[in-house]
Each structure stands twice: as structure tokens, then as C-alpha cells.
Amino acid sequence: MDTILYFGSHAKTNAAEKLGGVQDIAAKNGMPVQAIDGLPSRKRLAGLLEFWRPAGAIVECGGMASRADPGAFGALPLVFLDHDPSCLPENAFCVTHDSAATAQMAARELLLSGARHFAWVPYPEPRFWSEERERAFIAALALNGRACSVFAAAGAKLGSPRYQRGLRRFLAGLPKPCALFAANDVIGAEVLTAASYAGVKVPAELAVIGVDGAKEICEHTMPSLSSVRPDFRRGGELAALLLIAQLRDGARFRGARRKTFGPLMVERRASTRKLAAADSAAADALELIRREACNGLTAARVLARFPCSRRMAEIRFRKAAGRSVLDEIHSVRLERAKTLLRESTMPLKAIADFCGFGNPNSLVKFFKSATGMPMSAWRSLPGKA
């Protein structure tokens, strides 16, 4: 049986989505996928190739393209996923994230917020995707007559006290209110930490958006972090499709050897949500809903946090958020259900449990009412959103 080897880091936040995309396409072509964590040494790689005798391989290691030596794989058909194309042979097959399109999506989101001042915080070490995002973000702002302040890490390492001190000075010196684009969610989390220590209020004085949609990061910052979510699963699908086409056509292959996948959506959270009249109780209520909506949270529990009557609390929440507490809880549950349908083969009962519904029938009725279609039909749609 022809096997595909997939080399990638299991620790990366987007690992499961990319691998899932590869597995979906491979399964449809009757090819198993064997995942290998990271890039092994040349000696171990030779052993793996001898052991598996794969039909081809997909090599994914993000921005660390210098670690991948195409020559180490011999004549094995390869597709590189999310490598810097400039570091690969000219005729290499590769799939990369469209970082420019992601930056443009972030720029549109921040421009529509009404901000007049903007900032960019890059990844502190050289990464091709960070550099592409910076160029595209600044260009999009310039097109709309806006300038951009850029943070310079000056050689400080990410997470070091020196890096944090420099970031705090940078944020404190920005004209307010300001909208800031962070190179990814890790940087976005650093920005939120620095803002807290610098006394910069988010989002009243500083709106922040990152990239990757990493829930384990975005849902645990204070406040929660908005993020542009790339279509990582599509990236995995494209890599598998490109490898299978290469295996099928061999030297006759005449298609494009380099493909890109774009951003999927903006996941809006508290770091870009400006509440009417800066209602701190409403902001706290929104954060509670974001964290606990799928854990059996009730509207009564949310409204009890307001220092006023339930009727007045509902009025204040609706004024700040644009909808009722119950509608906001339902919205979070719906997005969780869509995510689980899109990214997993989880059975309906498990999805209902993860979304805070007492039984699957309640979820089925709610989902159809909200989207106009059954869950099974939505799950089978291409390009779900």
C-alpha cells in the first residue's frame, strides 16, 4: 500500500488542521498517512525511508525552511508545506499561506473599527511570513491614507524581560486610540501583557488582532484576543493534492508547482470589541460568555454579575453588545458547533456535549434554525464558514 510520510511539528497550534487536510485527501485516494514529529537527522531519515518505502512525503516545518534539505530525501516526490519558497529549489512543489491576504484582512478589520492610528508588531526573529505581513499591512494602510508605527525589538528575544520592557515603552508612546496588528497570536499575547503593565486599556485605547486563531492562546489572554484564522486545513488538502498529482503525472506534470491558501475568517474577541459607553460590567459579561457559554452557562448567571436589576442589566448588555445575553450565548455555541463540524468527525452527541447542549436533539433544532440547514448538510459543504 502506498504510504505518504508527513513531517511536521505536533506541538504547533495548527498541526492538527494541516494534518487533517492531508489525511482527508489521502484517504479519498486510498493512501495512508504516517506522521513523523519534526525533521529527523539525515541518518534517521534514511532509516525511515528504508522502513516505510513511501510513495512520497509532505514536509512541514513553518518558517524554519533552512532545516529542510531537499537532497536528503533523494528522488522521493516531495511537497513542502509552509516553507519560505525562496529557500527551496526553483522547481520544488510547495504550498504556503498567503500572508499578504491575511494582512489585508486584518487591515480591513482594523480600518472599519474607525481607528486613525495604527501599529505593527513583527516577529522578533527573521520569518518570511512576518515580513510579508508587514509589507502588505503597511501598504494597505497607505492605500487608505494611514501611516503605521512599527515596533523594533532591537535584538531582544521573544519573552525576555528586555523584549517586554521595549514593547511596553512602544505601546505607551503610541497615539491613542490605536489599532495594532500582531505578527501572530503569540506576539498578540505579548502585546496584551505589555499593555496591561503599561496601563494601556484594551480595547478602549488599543485594539489588538493577531493571526492563527489559536484558541489555546486567544481564549486565555486578558482580554481575549481577536485573530485572523488561516484556512490551515485547506493548506493540508492542497499539499496532498499536489503530491498525488505529482505521483500520478510524474515528468508529465505541467501544472503550477506553487500554491497558496488564504485566511478563513476574523475571529472577533474582546481585544477589538469597543463597548458602548465603556461599560465594564458588559465587558466582563462578554468575557464570561466567551469562556463559559459551552459549559452550561445561563443568561441568569451572566445578568447576576451586573450591580443592578436584571431588567436594567439586560438593557445595558444589549446596548453594549448589540444583542441579548441569550443571543450572545447562542452565537458562541453556534460557532463552536461549526468549528467541530468543520475540523473533526466527532459524532453528534459529542458535539452537543462540547457545545453545552443537554441532548443532541436540542442542538439539531437550534443549528437548523440558525443556519437554515441540517448539520449533516452543512458538514458536507465545501469551504464552510
For the stretch 355-376, pLDDT in tens is 888 788 999 999 989 888 888 8
Per-residue pLDDT tens over the stretch 194-214: 999 999 999 989 999 999 999
Q: Once rounded to an integer, what is the mean pLDDT over residues 107-130?
A: 93
For residue 278, the model assigns a pLDDT of 53
In this predicted structure, what is the pLDDT of residue 381? Answer: 67
- 176 is written with which cell numbers? 491613542
> CB–CB of 317/303 below 8 Å?
yes
Grid look-up 500554491 returns: 259
Three-point CA angle 24, 3, 97, nearest 5°: 50
Q: What is the pLDDT of residue 67?
A: 63
- Taking only Cα atoms into account, the Rg of the chain, rounded to an integer number of angstroms, comes to 23
CATH architecture of 276-379: Orthogonal Bundle (1.10)
How are beta strands 263-267 and 226-230 bridged, if at all? antiparallel
* pLDDT band, very low/low/confident/very high, at 349 (cuts 50, 70, 90): confident
CATH code that applies to domain 99-230+267-272: 3.40.50.2300
pLDDT in tens, 21-49: 999 999 999 999 999 998 888 999 999 99
Give backbone dihedrals phi and psi of 337, rounded to 5 degrees, phi first. Answer: -60, -45
pTM of the entire structure? Answer: 0.76
**What is the average pLDDT across 115-136?**
95
The residues spanned by each domain of the chain are 4-97+231-264, 99-230+267-272, 276-379
Q: Residue 68 pLDDT > 80, yes or no?
A: no
Question: What does the block give as the cell for 128?
Answer: 518570511
Between CA 20 and CA 161 the distance in angstroms is 37
> Are the CB atoms for 272 and 109 separated by under 8 Å?
yes
- Note the pLDDT of residue 65: 44
The three-state (H, E, C) secondary structure of 272-339, written as one string:
HCCCHHHCHHHHHHHHHHHHHHHHCCCHHHHHCCCCCCHHHHHHHHHHHHCCCHHHHHHHHHHHHHHH
Q: Which whole number is the average pLDDT over 179-183?
A: 98
Whole-angstrom distance, CA of residue 290 vs CA of residue 271 = 12
Query: Do 4-97+231-264 and 276-379 have matching folds?
Result: no
Q: What are phi and psi of 285, to 5 degrees?
A: -65, -40
Residue 76: the pLDDT is 96
> For residue 19, is pLDDT > 90?
yes
**Kind and range of the H or E element at 323?**
none
The full DSSP string for 139-173 is HHHHHTT---EE---TTPPTTSHHHHHHHHHHHHH
Evaluate if residue 1 carries a pLDDT over 90: no
- The architecture CATH gives domain 4-97+231-264: 3-Layer(aba) Sandwich (3.40)
Q: How confident is the model over 235-255, as a mean pLDDT?
A: 93
